[in-house]
A and B are shown apart, each in its own frame.
Chain A
Amino acid sequence: MRRLTPYLLVLPSWMWLGVFLVVPMAAMASVSLQTGNAIDGYAMTFSVSTYGDALGRYSTQLARSLVYGGLATVLMLVIGYPAAYWIAFKGGRRKSMYLFLLLLPFFVSFVLRTISWNFLLSDNGILFGTLKDWGLLPADFHVLATAAAVVGGLTYNFLPFMILPIYVALERVDPRVVEAAQDLYATRAAAFRRVVLPLSLPGVFAGVLMTFVPATADPINAAILGGTSNTMIGNIIQTEYLTNLNYPTASALSFTLMAVLLVGIFGYARALGTENVLQAAAR
């Protein structure tokens, strides 16, 4: 009985992860190899031509997603690192208060947060409407429906996921190590570059991992802030699946997206060790 205990404990999870994570991937692979149409149904033909067609038609959106996701990730790193640094080294007794304030957006639904940006940035809303009334902005000035609005929205929405792992890594850095570097005549800049930065890299890697993937695959920001000319791959997959009922194309696109992203993820995970990534994800 005692030897059976672990198996009884893992059985429900195995079933859940097996039936609803592993099997669906297989189902999706199978659907992506089918041909047919929404009205007559789809039949398995082991045709890989869907991949070529879908990529040919939507390569722009796929590339755009990678660019927007990449840009947003770089912005998050640049914006988030200094804040994480200051809280970790100078936050003192108020560290948890600052972290809590940074996490406040998590208490508002993702969708609502994005819509609030739509409010804030709307052409004649409280911000730009007022500035236009004062004559500080030309009447046709707008941010909504531009690439900047989408990248900005992605940066905003995922920023805490970048700050947290970097903070965790920096918080573990012993300040005495930095002092030692300075005692050995390193300038502040050199001490940062040669001591603090390398020690924080696992946090940076985890942060990049936790933000790049969801930002690239996110359909919400493009839908709410991007107008019609900034469609990302997530929007295409949703439309193909849910509106056009074009399951093979949607599956092929999902697979391609996942392949592109997962190759990156597991490359990272291999370099860092799975445990680190899991721990970072838990925080």
Chain B
Amino acid sequence: MRGVLGGGDRVVHGGRLGDRVLHAYTWLVILWLASPIAVMILFGFNDKQSKSNTTWQGFTLRWYAELLDISDLTVALRNSLVIAAVSTLVTVVVGTMLGLALGRHRFRGKGVTTFLVFAAISTPELVMGASLLSLFVSGNVPRDANTVIVAHVLFSLSFVVVTVRARVVGLDPSLEEAARDLGASAWGTFRQVTLPSIMPGVMAGAMLSFALSVDDYVVTSFVNGSTVTFPLWIVGAVKTGIPPQVNVMGTLIFGIGVLIAIGNAVAGRRRT
């Protein structure tokens, strides 16, 4: 407001206060987003005596020592990790192939394929789960870890396709031509030139699909049969009370994820 009178430097003046307010506001949003994480970590150290784990009763490392003492929770976590590993592997191979095709080649049905990739991203998880269950029920397919893997590949696939495709589009085709001119075979060119250059996209897609898989509750709840994953176990335990071991597992997954992300960013900065 002062700017109307102040002439030339009004932008700077009007800006500073507003910027400071917005700066503080951004931190407020970050704090809000982080608060439940802080609660999760904190209550993994809570020396609770009663059944519920909602009031602070003192510090302990007991739950870290007894991390794997709830056997069905441990099984659920292991299921989640195995399912995520297998589905990520399948997703990365299938998705990278499609990403390459969409980014590099012309072929019939490209429009429909792009549409399907988009449809797979935008279909609500709930509808995806319900429709898969309809298929499995109609076809009398028993639900187990395999049907969960099928579903996880389905919802992760598009994300790998999109990240790889973006990388392929930004790739200079003359590099591959040069390799071919120097006598490399098609496969050799792919392995030694194409693959290394699109690797960051592939890795980003892989991490994304692993994270999506470990995290998924909605789709899994439709197609899991009697196989229980980590998120499913937690939701099932809400009524009876979440044991602190869940907080500890959540904390460890959080820590590992953050470390990988930071390591990745540092490595990326070193490369460039």
* Physical interaction between A and B: yes
A271 at the B interface (CB under 8 A): no
Q: Which residues of A contact B126 (CB under 8 A)?
A: 217-219, 234, 237-238, 254, 257
Main secondary structure of the interface of B (DSSP, over half): helix
Complex: A107 Cα to B107 Cα, angstroms? 38
Identify A7's interface contact among B107, B119, B221, B257, CB under 8 A.
B107
Complex: A208 Cα to B162 Cα, angstroms? 20
Identify A25's interface contact among B117, B131, B163, CB under 8 A.
B131
Cβ contact within 8 Å between A217 and B120: no
Cβ contact within 8 Å between A156 and B97: no
Main secondary structure of the interface of A (DSSP, over half): helix
Cβ contact within 8 Å between A112 and B222: no
Cβ contact within 8 Å between A14 and B39: no
Cβ contact within 8 Å between B265 and A96: yes
Cβ contact within 8 Å between A101 and B34: yes
Q: Which of B18, B124, B221, B230 neighbours the largest number of chain A CB atoms within 10 Å of its CB?
A: B124
With known contacts A112-B250, A265-B122, A16–B135 Cβ distance under 8 A: no
Cβ contact within 8 Å between B37 and A10: no
Q: Which residues of B contact A247 (CB under 8 A)?
A: 134, 137
B231 to chain A, nearest CB (A): 4
B228 at the A interface (CB under 8 A): no
Cβ contact within 8 Å between B37 and A21: no
B150 at the A interface (CB under 8 A): yes
Q: Which residues of B contact A251 (CB under 8 A)?
A: 130, 134
Closest B residue, CB atoms, query A248: B134
Q: Digitize A1-42: 1 where CB-to-B-CB distance is under 8 Å, 0 elsewhere.
A: 010011111101110110011111101101100000000000
With known contacts A21-B123, A104-B34, A112-B40, A31–B238 Cβ distance under 8 A: no
B127 at the A interface (CB under 8 A): yes
Q: Which of A82, A223, A278 neighbours the largest number of chain B CB atoms within 10 Å of its CB?
A: A278
Closest B residue, CB atoms, query A8: B97
Cβ contact within 8 Å between A107 and B124: no
Cβ contact within 8 Å between B130 and A213: no
B51 at the A interface (CB under 8 A): no
Cβ contact within 8 Å between A17 and B34: no
Q: Which residues of A contact B221 (CB under 8 A)?
A: 238, 242
Identify A13's interface contact among B97, B119, B130, B135, CB under 8 A.
B97
With known contacts A90-B23, A213-B122, A112–B157 Cβ distance under 8 A: no
Identify B127's interface contact among A80, A106, A113, A217, CB under 8 A.
A217
Q: Which residues of A contact B114 (CB under 8 A)?
A: 274, 278
Interface size class of B (residues with CB under 8 A): 35 or more
B36 at the A interface (CB under 8 A): yes
- Residues 144-178 (chain B) with a chain A CB within 8 angstroms: 150-151, 153-154, 157-159, 161-163, 166
**Which of A47-55, A123-131, A135-143 binds B?**
A123-131
A46 at the B interface (CB under 8 A): no
Cβ contact within 8 Å between A107 and B254: yes
Complex: A23 Cα to B135 Cα, angstroms? 7
Q: Which residues of A contact B94 (CB under 8 A)?
A: 12-13, 16
Closest B residue, CB atoms, query A1: B186
Point out residues on A near B: beta carbons under 8 Å. Answer: 2, 5-10, 12-14, 16-17, 20-25, 27-28, 30-31, 79-80, 82-83, 85-87, 90, 96, 98, 100-102, 104-113, 115-120, 122, 124-126, 129, 156, 159-160, 182, 187-188, 209, 213-214, 216-220, 223-224, 234, 237-238, 241-242, 247, 250-251, 254, 257-258, 261-262, 265, 269, 274, 277-279, 281-282
- Can you list 29 A-B contacts (CB < 8 A)? A10-B98, A10-B107, A17-B157, A21-B116, A28-B130, A28-B135, A31-B134, A83-B26, A101-B34, A104-B34, A104-B258, A105-B33, A107-B253, A109-B214, A109-B230, A109-B231, A109-B234, A110-B215, A112-B246, A182-B11, A188-B15, A220-B235, A223-B235, A254-B130, A274-B115, A274-B118, A277-B118, A278-B118, A281-B162
